[in-house]
Structure formats: structure tokens, C-alpha cells
Amino acid sequence: MSRNNCRGRFNRYSKQGQGQGRYNNKRRGFGKKSIDTSLYIKKAEEFVNIEDIETVNSFRDFNLCPELLANVKAKGYLKPTQIQDQAIPHIINNRDVLGLADTGTGKTAAFALPIINKILNNQNERIIVIAPTRELAQQIEQEFNSFTSRLRVFSALAIGGAYLREQINKIRRGPHIIIGTPGRIIDLGKRNVINFRGLNTVVLDEVDRMLDMGFINDIKSIVDQTPNTRQTLFFSATIDRRLEPLIDTFLNNPVKISIKTANASSHVEQDIVRVTRYAKEQKLHDLMGLASFKKVLVFGSTRRIVEKLSRSLVQDGFRAQGLHGGKQQNQRQRIMRDFRENRTRILVATDVASRGLDVTDITHVINYDEPNNYEEYIHRIGRTGRVNNKGYALTFVE
Ligand code: AMP
């Protein structure tokens, strides 16, 4: 394991200038259901506490800088999750990593901790983290920030939506870590704000999702501009044929780590609710009237449905909001914050919210409209039953 110089401790005399759907077409005679409804019914597996999962290392064993270790402790992480247990030693040793792991497994800290440690040992390290959605990029930044308090490690966001000027100014100050979405990263590269040649480490998070969203050429163009000597960390929930060429070209003799057991959906009790199209809305209102539905994420297939449902819930006296891609970035952030901080009890969303959304205490996911495919279903229900919590997922079926 590499030696720790830990030169990045925050010097209080240094300048802190950087501060841091489709609508499911199930009308009679049109199209077919693509998902067997029996897949929506499943008992939650015996509840496994994250701290009870067998791991080899403790955080101390990673030889992290003491200040970083103290921040990990302050965050309340008692022991590494499986992906952290397996990935951190290799990342510290500069190996490329191919990680098969979904959100909910602790994969953000699995790359964040060794990256921060690298920066503490060498202030010249420059890292880019590429994520599919703005929300995920923001969450990753929050996780980084929670580990870098009082350390001389700076990050900046490069995400679509508002604040272009602000982002440019922050990135021009030379943060160690840039976290962003492909389109904005490319844009900032073209404006000479991001210098890809100066990057030592590239993290690609949820690559399968990025491919689904049509970012393949963007990712290639970014990675192609980075030095061949870089370290590459590549994370995906699934590995399929489309990813293989990317794995071959981006990664250099990677360590492969597959975490399947910590699948968040194993903590989710899943069932269907039989209801006709015409009675669906009322059924949702009835369920929301039950006290056990403490914090609920409802998936609708279109922006229109999301708007309509959230409005009717509010009219009925529920604290509900709607989230979809048609909303402004600052609105989306506010809505997410309200939900996270319990000002909103019910979030109605399109699949924009189905990945990355890390709210640990969602009690129920309701698929008001069925997802387009099973993979999307798994991502949706993974928003409940997060680390150390049991969750419930109900799917409305005609
Ligand atoms: P992620 O898979 O990175 O989205 O993490 C999922 C959740 O697990 C987040 O809420 C993290 O704060 C939490 N988490 C990550 N690592 C640990 C750990 N070692 N112990 C407890 N919770 C953790």
C-alpha cells in the first residue's frame, strides 16, 4: 500500500479562495406488457444490516491519512461496505477498477475516499468524475464534501442547467476534483475551462445508465482527451455487450469487483395493486391516507401525469411535489431538498428520479405507471430499502 505523506491538511493560513415514457401503451389491442407482473411480487429478504456484512478490512487498514479517517468516523461510517472493502486498496495502489455495483452499495465512498487520500498525498492530482444525471453528480459532490471538511481538497460541479458562469469561475480556480455530466463537461472543455490533458484519474459512474441516455460518444470524446497514463475507475450496475468495447479501450488491466449481494432491492418487500385505469388516482389517494406510508416516491410515466398527480394530491391536503425533466435545474434541486428534509412527504416523479436519488428514509415506492422494462423497475424500487432500512414497493397493475 502506498505511503502516506498527507500534505493536504488544511493550512489555516493558506487562502481558502476556492471554498470550496413513454406512456405504457396498454390500451386494448395496442402493444403488450413487457414485464411479467409476477416479477413485481417478492418478499424482502432477511434484513441485513450493512454493519453485519462480512468484510475483511476496517477503515484503519486502508492506511488513509488520519484527518480523512477522522472525517469518515465523524460521518458515522463504522466499517467499510463490501465494495469499499474490495475496491479501496486497489484504487490506493493506482490500479484501474471495473466495479459492478449499484447505488446503495456505498460505491461513492469506495472511490471518493482513495481519491481524497491521493490528493492529500499529492496536491497535483486532478480528477474528473462523470455521472449520468445532475442529481447524481450533486450527490457525489456532497459525499466528497462530507469527507473533505477541514482538508485542503476542493471540488467543483460541471452540470447542465443554470449557473454556467459560477461553474466556470469555480473551475478556473483549479479544484482537484470536477464532478459533472457529459454534456456540460464537453462544453467546458471546448471553452478551455477544463483541461482534460491535466487529469490523472477518471471516474465513470453508472456507465450503463450513461449509455442508455445516449452519452456514449460524449464519454468517448472526454476519455480520449485524457492522458493514457491516467487511472480509470469504471462503475456500472450491469455489464452487457455495449459496454465491452468501452471497458477494453478505457481500462488498463483492471481489477474486477462485483457486488451483487448488497443489492438494495433485496430489502424491499414488493407487491402489486390490482386497479383499473379509471380508479388508479383514487387508489393512490387512499394509500397516501395511511399513516404507514411515511415518505413515498411515486413514479408516473410522463411529465403530464406527474404534474396532474402532484396537483391533485396537494389539493387533497397532502404535502406532495412533482419532479420531472421539464423543470428548471434550481427548481429540481429545491424539490429534492424539500423531499430529503421532509418538507415534502410525497414526491411524484418520472424516471429522472429513478437513479441516483439517495434519500435514505423513503418507506414506499409506488409504480403508478409500470416501468418500461425490468431494469428500470429495479432502479425505481432501489430508491427504498436503502442502507439499513426495509422498504416497500407497490406496482399498480390493471
Ligand atoms: P451509495 O451507494 O454511494 O449511493 O451509498 C448509499 C448510502 O450508503 C449512502 O447514504 C451512504 O451515505 C451510505 N454509506 C456508504 N458507505 C457506508 C458505510 N461504510 N457505512 C454506512 N453507510 C454507508
Q: Is the C-beta atom of 106 inside 6 A of ligand 1? A: yes
Q: Which atom of ligand 1 is nearest to the CA of 103?
A: 2
Q: For atom 22 of ligand 1, which residue has the closest CA?
A: 77
Residues in the chain: 398
Supply the pLDDT for residue 45: 59
- Residue 127: in which H helix or E strand, if any? strand 127-130
The number of folded domains in the chain is 2
Supply the pLDDT for residue 42: 75
Claim to verify: residue 84 and residue 220 sit in the same structural domain: yes
Tell me whether residue 128 is in a domain. Answer: yes
Q: Which atom of ligand 1 is nearest to the CA of 72?
A: 19
Claim to verify: residue 106 and residue 239 sit in the same structural domain: yes
Contact 134, 327 (CB under 8 A): no
CA–CA–CA angle 108, 156, 383 (5° rounding): 35
**DSSP secondary structure string for all residues of 201-221:** EEEE-SHHHHHHTT-HHHHHH
Contact 160, 183 (CB under 8 A): yes
Tell me whether residue 3 is in a domain. Answer: no
Q: Which of 239, 259, 279 is the last residue of a domain?
A: 259
Domain region containing 133: 50-259
Claim to verify: residue 322 and residue 390 sit in the same structural domain: yes
Mutate to test the pocket of ligand 1, among 81, 179, 203, 354 (most ligand atoms within 8 A of CB): 81
Claim to verify: residue 111 and residue 215 sit in the same structural domain: yes
CATH code, domain with 219 = 3.40.50.300
Claim to verify: residue 310 and residue 244 sit in the same structural domain: no
HSE-CB of 14 using CA atoms within 13 angstroms: 12
Taking phi over 0 as left and psi of -120 to 50 as alpha, with beta for the rest, 362 belongs to beta
77 CA distance to ligand 1 middle (Å): 8
Q: Which of 194, 227, 259 is the last residue of a domain?
A: 259
Q: For atom 20 of ligand 1, which residue has the closest CA?
A: 77
Supply the pLDDT for residue 267: 79
Q: Which of 212, 237, 259 is the last residue of a domain?
A: 259
pLDDT tens by residue, the chain, 398 residues:
445 566 544 443 333 333 333 223 333 333 334 677 777 887 765 444 455 566 778 999 999 999 999 999 999 999 998 899 999 999 999 999 999 987 778 899 999 999 999 999 999 999 999 999 888 899 999 999 999 999 999 999 999 876 899 999 999 999 999 999 999 999 999 999 999 999 999 999 999 889 888 899 999 999 999 999 999 999 998 787 888 999 999 999 999 998 854 455 677 889 999 999 999 999 999 999 999 999 999 999 999 999 999 999 999 999 999 999 888 888 888 998 899 999 999 999 998 765 557 787 899 999 999 998 877 888 888 888 876 678 899 999 98
Tell me whether residue 1 is in a domain. Answer: no
Supply the pLDDT for residue 264: 52
Supply the pLDDT for residue 263: 52
DSSP state of 317: T
Residue given cell 456540460 in the structure block: 184
In whole angstroms, give the CA distance from residue 322 to residue 301. 12
Claim to verify: residue 204 and residue 281 sit in the same structural domain: no
Torsion of CA 147, 188, 235, 245, to 10 degrees: -160
Claim to verify: residue 216 and residue 268 sit in the same structural domain: no
Residue 373 makes CB contacts below 8 A (sequence gap 6+) with: 34, 35
Four-residue CA torsion sign, 256, 201, 144, 218: negative
Claim to verify: residue 26 and residue 132 sit in the same structural domain: no
Claim to verify: residue 185 and residue 297 sit in the same structural domain: no
CA 17 to chain centre: 29
Claim to verify: residue 254 and residue 380 sit in the same structural domain: no
Tell me whether residue 112 is in a domain. Answer: yes
Contact 173, 18 (CB under 8 A): yes
Tell me whether residue 390 is in a domain. Answer: yes
281 CA distance to ligand 1 middle (Å): 34
Claim to verify: residue 143 and residue 270 sit in the same structural domain: no
In whole angstroms, give the CA distance from residue 2 to residue 22. 49
Claim to verify: residue 250 and residue 104 sit in the same structural domain: yes
Tell me whether residue 2 is in a domain. Answer: no
